[in-house]
Amino acid sequence: MSELLLAVKKLRTSFPIGSNAFVHAVDNVSFDIRKGEAVALVGESGSGKTVTAMSIMRLVAPPGRITGGEVLFKGHDLASMPEKQLRAIRGNDIAMVFQEPMTSLNPVFKIGDQVSEAIRIHRKVSKKEARKRAGQMLELVSIPDPIKRLDDYPHQLSGGMRQRVMIAMALSCDPELLIADEPTTALDVTIQAQIMELLASLQKRLGLAILLITHDLGVVAEFCERVIVMYTGRIVEESPVRDLFANPAHPYTRGLLKSLPSVTGTGARLPTIQGMVPPLTDLPNGCKFNPRCPDVMPICLGDEPARMNVGPGHDARCYLHGDLADPERVGQ
């Protein structure tokens, strides 16, 4: 088994909603990522995926802040690290690709200047060396005529090319962990496939660990080894990818998988998960999924379930899998 790279332990990120009141956008979240591993973080909008990623990078916008837990990168806690020390790691050892490249790239600076700046922040190299490295990075992410593209502005590139530039910037300092937050959201389907193929090839070539944040389970099936399912800021299921698709253990995960379109579709309406994700200011008692759950039991309305073991490397936050489960309902 490969070396542990990132260990998130009981992470909590909170936002104030009044004088002494908080909501927890990330609540008691724990997971690991090993060297060279591709892990997916999935769930509906508002489930806490992006706030989890921003918490790992310690980029949560005030007044939001980490209020509990640890984020251990190679044994060092990023959550309590001094900002100066963290800046040396952020962008260098851990890098992030954001959802929308047009808002991440500065429209008034050339592509080459922006990639070079990312390199010079972390590497003591001359402008000439940084520009050479920038050209190599554009070539690495398969941008045609990379040296010429260094003198282009962001608006001169397509959405897919801009996303490749963002990936080039993120990888320019040889990080060990890449966090990709919905890296294909704003792109058309063919370009989405190209970007995911690019990430997969770079992962193998560079030995990268990748945390992929997405709502697209089709991408997860092709690209990732493990998957973490989030709901209302909590992890509700974690599993090897094959096990999750073959044997989803949480009713929420089953609902997500049932709503996937099939290639051999019958033309029938796709099943949906009833109701909406509840606001963090008004979460139900007990299991937070219970108002939408087809398998809800009386116990689900009391205390919130713990993460319960389902199989090797597979757990679910659901009473269907605990000692108190109703045996007739397990596996429905």
Question: Per residue of the chain (332 residues), what is the pLDDT tens digit?
Answer: 679 999 999 999 999 988 888 999 999 999 999 999 999 999 988 899 999 999 999 999 899 999 999 999 999 999 999 999 998 899 889 999 987 766 778 999 999 999 999 899 888 899 999 999 999 999 999 999 999 999 999 999 988 899 899 999 999 988 999 999 988 877 788 888 888 898 999 999 999 999 999 988 888 998 999 999 999 999 999 999 999 999 999 999 999 998 877 655 556 677 788 888 999 999 999 999 999 999 999 999 999 999 999 999 999 999 999 765 544 444 33
Q: Are 253 and 244 in contact (CB under 8 A)?
A: yes
What's phi and psi for 328, nearest 5 deg? Answer: -75, -15
Residues in the chain: 332
- The dihedral sign for the CA sequence 224, 229, 230, 235: negative
Q: Are 130 and 120 in contact (CB under 8 A)?
A: yes
Give the number of other CB atoms < 10 A from CB of residue 113.
Answer: 18
Q: Are 5 and 177 in contact (CB under 8 A)?
A: yes
Closest CA to 73 of 96, 94, 49: 94
Q: Are 223 and 212 in contact (CB under 8 A)?
A: yes
- H or E element at residue 103: helix 101-104
